[in-house]
Chain A
Amino acid sequence: MSGHVFHPGHDQLHGITVILETTGPRVLVGRFDSQDEQGVNLIGVSVFDTSGGESTKEEFLARTRKFGVKVDHPHLRIPLPTVSRILPLGD
């Protein structure tokens, strides 16, 4: 992670648009707000279901990188046990 913290006291990813991969079929893209022992809070979130079959996760991410984040939910809290990994969209 090459970024820097914009707001002291926040998580290193605070304010960064991230890909959140879940342990299930869903992939989320949104702006990382915060994380605690129970979950992760994302703002302005696009949700993609890999079991839908209409397109692949890679196509979804390529589309999002090119056209931006299509917000499905203004805020989502994702339970920590369902989070597989989080990485910046811009990397």
Chain B
Amino acid sequence: MPYDEKMVAPMREEVRQIGARELCTVAEVDEALGDAKGTTLVFVNSVCGCAAGGARPALQAALKHTVLPQSIVTVFAGQDVDATRRARQYFSDYQPSSPSFALLRDGEPVYMVHRHMIEGKSPQAVAAALKEAFDKFCGVSV
């Protein structure tokens, strides 16, 4: 059952402020991820403590990196249920968890940060993993 939207609203706003585009419907997910070219980071937001203490600060820190995905989007697990389920279909080889990050390149998942990789970690540690993935998968080939 979804939480009270008034409680969740600041958690959504925090991620929008960071620069992620929020996808609340299946249509919005398909528009963003269907036939996607280039690189997209999908952040699966959640109400849990490791989203507040780890994942969202990590996203903020990671997005200050010099190499970034071309698109940053977010869905909210447990709140926008259909949109989240749809987004997870784009990386369905991986088990669902939240919070989590999926990095897609040309529509294919190339890197995942599962919840178990966020739990108990500092935001800096999670951000470092994301930055490493950005360097590896989002850099321009010359």
Query: Can you show 7 pairs from A to B with CB atoms below 8 A apart?
Result: A6-B53, A7-B49, A17-B115, A65-B114, A68-B112, A68-B115, A90-B118
B97 at the A interface (CB under 8 A): yes
A90 x B120 contact (CB < 8 A)? yes
Interface extent on B, as a size class?
A: 10 to 19
For residue B96, which residues in chain A have a CB less than 8 angstroms away from its CB?
68
Q: A68-B95, A69-B97 are in contact. Are A89 and B116 (CB under 8 A)?
A: yes
User: Interface on chain B toward A: helix, strand, loop, or mixed SS?
Assistant: loop
* A contact residues vs B (CB 8 Å cutoff): 1-4, 6-7, 15-17, 65-71, 88-90
* B contact residues vs A (CB 8 Å cutoff): 48-50, 53, 93-97, 100, 112, 114-121
CB distance from B100 to the nearest CB of A (A): 8
For residue A65, which residues in chain B have a CB less than 8 angstroms away from its CB?
114, 116-117
A3 x B95 contact (CB < 8 A)? no
For residue B93, which residues in chain A have a CB less than 8 angstroms away from its CB?
67
For residue A69, which residues in chain B have a CB less than 8 angstroms away from its CB?
95, 97, 114, 116
For residue A89, which residues in chain B have a CB less than 8 angstroms away from its CB?
116
For residue B48, which residues in chain A have a CB less than 8 angstroms away from its CB?
6, 15
CB distance from B78 to the nearest CB of A (A): 14
B94 x A17 contact (CB < 8 A)? no
B49 x A70 contact (CB < 8 A)? no
